[in-house]
C-alpha cells in the first residue's frame, strides 16, 4: 500500500519538474494565433504559453508529444469551441485531445465544446498521466473526458471549476467529469456543480479514487448522482461539501459499484468528515453493491432519506460518530450564500468527531484542509477534539480572515517578485509559500511592514503555488 503511494508521488514530482526544451507562445497578436497552429510543431518536453484572450472557433487541437506543459499567461485565456468542432465528423472529440504522456495543463478556461457524437470535451485525455490545475470547464458536453483503458495512468485534477457540463441531446451520458478505466484519480480542491441533462457531477471508473476537499453540488439544474464510482475498487471521499438539489433526476447522492465490481478487489469505500445535504424531499445518501468495507465516520448527513440512509450489501460496516437527521436545521449550520456550512456555537456536530489516525494508500482519513469559496481550500484548524462534518467550528472571537480584501497580491501570474498589500491592522507575522503537494518551498519571511511586503519568488519554477499568511491561504501562478 505505502509503496503504491510513494510511486504515485515520485511519478508526479518527476514529470511536473521535468525540464522544458522549447517555449512556444500562442497570442491573438503573435505569430501563432491559435493552439492548432502550434500543436503540430511541438516536441517532447516543450512548453506552450497561451496569452490571455478569447480564442474562438479553433479546430480540434490534438497534442501527441510527451511531457508537455501548456499554460495560460497574463491572465486566463478562454478557449471557446464553435462550428468547426461541432461539425467535425472525422475527429470531433474536444477542444484539447491529449494523446501524449505526462501532460500538465494549467490556467485555461474551456467552453462550449459540442461534437456530432454529443460528448465534446474541454479536455479529452487519451494518453497516460495528466495534471490539470487552475482551469475552468464551462458548458461543454463533457468537462474532462478520459477515454478508454490506460494501465498505470494517474490523473490529478486540482483547483479547477466545472460548471454546467452535459448534453441535452443525449441526457444522462455526459458529465462534468468522466474518468474511465485508469489506475488512480486524485480529485481535490475543486468545485464541480450544476451538471445539466442528468449528468453526474463526478463519475470515475478508476481503480483508486481520492476525492478530497471539494464542493460537489447541484442547486439549479437536473443532474444525476453527485459522485458515481460504478466499478468499485478503493475510494476515499474526505472533507467534501456535497449538496443534492431539488431538481436532481437521481435521488442517490453517492453510488459505488452499481455497474459491476470490475475493478480489482478488495472493494473498500471510506467516507469521512464530509458535509452532505439533501434538499430533495426523497433520497438515499449512499448506495453500494456487494462491497467488502464501508467505513463511514465523522460525516454530517442531513435531509430526506426516504429510500434509506445506506442501501446495498457490505461485508463490514463501521459507521460511528456521524450526525444523521432528516431535518437539515438540526445540524446547526450558520448558512450563508457561499455554501461553506460553518457551524453555530450550539451545533451538535461540535467536538463530536473521532480522531482517525488511519491512512489509505498514503491518504490520511484525518482532515487537513477545508473547502473555501474564495480560495478553493484552506487549512483546517482543529482544537482538542475534531468536529463532525467538512468545516471545523470557528468561535466568533477567533481571527479567521477569508475574504479577498484581507490582503491583495500583485502581479498574478508572477515571475520574480510578489507584492503583498495588507490591511493596516493586520496582525500577521510570517509568510509561507507552498506548492500543490503541500511542500513548503520558501524560507519563512518575516513581515516588515503593516501595509506592504515584497517577496522574492525568482527561484520558483512555473506552476501554481499557495501563499499562506497566518490562517489565510491564497493561490498564485508563477510563469517563467
Region 338-352: mean pLDDT is 91
Task: Give 275-318 pLDDT, tens digit per residue.
Answer: 999 999 999 999 999 999 999 999 999 999 999 999 999 999 99
**What CATH code would you report for 407-478?**
2.60.40.3080
| Grid cell of 65 as nine digits | 508529444
| Grid cell of 95 as nine digits | 477542444
pLDDT of 16 reads 45
CATH 2.60.40.3080-classified regions of the chain? 407-478
From residue 469, give the alpha-carbon distance in Å to each of 237, 380, 422. 28, 14, 11
pLDDT of 256 above 50: yes
Residues 251 and 284 sit within 8 Å (Cβ to Cβ): yes
Share of the chain above pLDDT 70, in %: 88
Residue 435 pLDDT class (50, 70, 90 cuts): confident
Region 162-181: mean pLDDT is 96
pLDDT of 413 above 60: yes
DSSP string, 28-79: TTSSB-SHHHHTTT--TT-EEEEESSEEESPPPEEE-SSS-EEEEESS--EE
pTM of the entire predicted model: 0.85
Residue 9 pLDDT class (50, 70, 90 cuts): very low
Residue 19 pLDDT class (50, 70, 90 cuts): very low
Task: Give 110-146 pLDDT, tens digit per residue.
Answer: 999 999 999 999 999 999 999 999 999 999 999 999 9
Residue 42 pLDDT class (50, 70, 90 cuts): very high
Mean pLDDT of the chain: 88
- Residue 174 φ then ψ, to 5°: -120, 145
Residue 399 pLDDT class (50, 70, 90 cuts): very low
pLDDT of 403 above 80: no
pLDDT of 463 above 50: yes
pLDDT of 274 above 80: yes
pLDDT of 3 above 60: no
pLDDT of 400 reads 39
Region 416-427: mean pLDDT is 67
pLDDT of 72 reads 92
Region 408-420: mean pLDDT is 76
Residue 197 pLDDT class (50, 70, 90 cuts): very high
pLDDT of 12 reads 45
Task: Give 43-82 pLDDT, tens digit per residue.
Answer: 999 999 999 999 999 999 999 999 999 999 888 999 999 9
pLDDT of 375 reads 77
| Grid cell of 274 as nine digits | 464530509
CA distance 467 to 318: 38
pLDDT of 297 reads 98
pLDDT of 478 reads 82
pLDDT of 456 reads 85
CA distance 215 to 229: 17
Residue 326's SS3 state is coil
Closest CA to 228 of 178, 169, 301, 163: 178
pLDDT of 442 reads 74
Region 254-278: mean pLDDT is 98
Contacting residues for 258 by C-beta, under 8 A, at least 6 apart:
228, 230, 287, 288, 289
CA distance 68 to 144: 18
CATH architecture, range 21-331: 3 Solenoid (2.160)
Question: 413 or 41: which carries more pLDDT confidence?
Answer: 41
pLDDT of 391 reads 95
b/e burial code for range 296-330 (CB count within 10 A of at least 16 → b): bbbbbbbbbbeeeebebebeeeeeebbbbeeeeee
Amino acid at each position: 500500500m505505502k509503496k503504491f503511494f510513494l510511486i504515485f508521488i515520485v511519478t508526479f514530482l518527476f514529470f511536473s519538474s521535468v525540464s522544458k526544451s522549447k517555449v512556444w507562445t500562442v497570442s491573438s497578436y503573435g505569430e501563432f494565433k491559435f493552439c492548432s497552429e502550434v500543436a503540430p510543431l511541438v516536441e517532447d518536453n516543450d512548453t506552450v504559453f497561451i496569452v490571455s484572450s478569447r480564442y474562438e472557433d479553433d479546430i480540434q487541437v490534438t497534442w501527441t508529444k510527451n511531457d508537455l506543459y501548456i499554460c495560460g499567461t497574463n491572465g486566463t485565456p478562454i478557449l471557446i469551441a464553435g462550428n468547426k468542432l461541432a461539425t467535425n465528423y472525422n475527429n470531433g472529440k474536444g477542444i484539447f485531445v491529449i494523446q501524449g504522456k505526462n501532460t500538465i495543463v494549467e490556467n485555461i478556461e474551456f467552453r462550449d465544446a459540442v461534437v456530432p457524437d454529443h460528448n465534446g470535451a474541454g479536455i479529452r485525455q487519451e494518453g497516460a498521466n495528466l495534471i490539470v490545475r487552475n482551469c475552468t470547464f464551462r458548458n461543454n458536453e463533457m468537462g474532462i473526458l478520459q477515454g478508454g483503458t490506460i494501465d498505470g495512468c494517474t490523473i490529478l485534477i486540482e483547483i479547477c471549476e466545472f460548471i454546467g457540463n452535459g448534453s441535452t441531446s443525449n441526457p444522462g451520458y455526459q458529465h462534468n467529469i468522466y474518468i474511465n478505466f485508469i489506475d488512480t484519480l486524485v480529485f481535490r480542491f475543486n468545485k464541480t456543480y450544476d451538471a445539466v441533462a442528468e449528468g453526474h457531477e463526478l463519475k470515475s471508473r478508476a481503480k483508486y479514487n481520492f476525492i478530497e476537499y471539494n464542493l460537489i453540488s447541484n442547486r439549479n439544474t437536473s443532474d444525476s448522482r453527485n459522485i458515481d464510482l460504478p466499478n468499485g475498487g478503493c475510494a476515499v471521499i474526505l472533507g467534501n461539501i456535497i449538496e443534492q438539489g431539488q431538481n436532481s433526476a437521481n435521488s442517490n447522492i453517492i453510488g459505488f459499484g452499481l455497474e459491476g465490481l470490475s475493478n480489482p478487489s478488495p472493494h473498500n469505500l471510506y467516507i469521512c468528515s464530509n458535509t452532505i445535504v439533501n434538499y430533495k424531499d426523497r433520497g438515499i445518501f449512499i448506495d453500494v453493491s456487494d462491497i467488502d468495507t464501508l467505513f463511514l465516520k465523522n460525516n454530517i448527513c442531513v435531509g430526506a432519506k426516504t429510500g434509506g440512509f445506506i442501501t446495498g450489501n457490505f461485508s463490514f460496516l463501521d459507521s460511528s460518530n456521524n450526525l444523521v437527521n432528516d431535518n437539515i436545521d438540526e445540524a446547526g449550520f450558520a448558512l450563508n450564500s457561499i455554501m461553506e456550512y460553518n457551524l453555530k456555537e450550539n451545533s451538535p456536530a461540535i467536538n463530536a468527531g473521532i480522531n482517525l489516525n488511519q491512512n489509505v494508500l498514503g491518504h490520511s482519513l484525518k482532515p487537513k484542509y477545508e473547502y473555501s469559496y474564495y480560495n478553493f481550500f484552506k487549512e483546517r484548524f482543529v482544537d482538542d477534539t475534531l468536529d463532525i462534518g467538512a468545516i471545523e467550528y470557528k468561535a466568533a472571537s477567533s481571527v479567521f480572515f477569508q475574504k479577498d480584501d484581507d490582503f491583495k497580491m500583485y502581479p498574478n501570474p508572477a515571475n520574480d517578485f510578489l507584492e503583498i498589500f495588507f490591511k493596516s491592522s493586520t496582525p500577521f507575522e510570517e509568510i509561507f509559500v507552498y506548492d500543490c503537494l503541500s511542500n513548503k518551498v520558501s524560507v519563512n519571511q518575516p513581515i516588515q511592514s503593516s501595509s506592504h511586503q515584497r517577496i522574492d519568488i525568482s527561484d520558483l519554477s512555473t506552476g501554481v503555488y499557495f501563499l499562506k499568511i497566518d490562517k489565510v491561504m491564497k493561490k498564485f501562478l508563477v510563469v517563467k
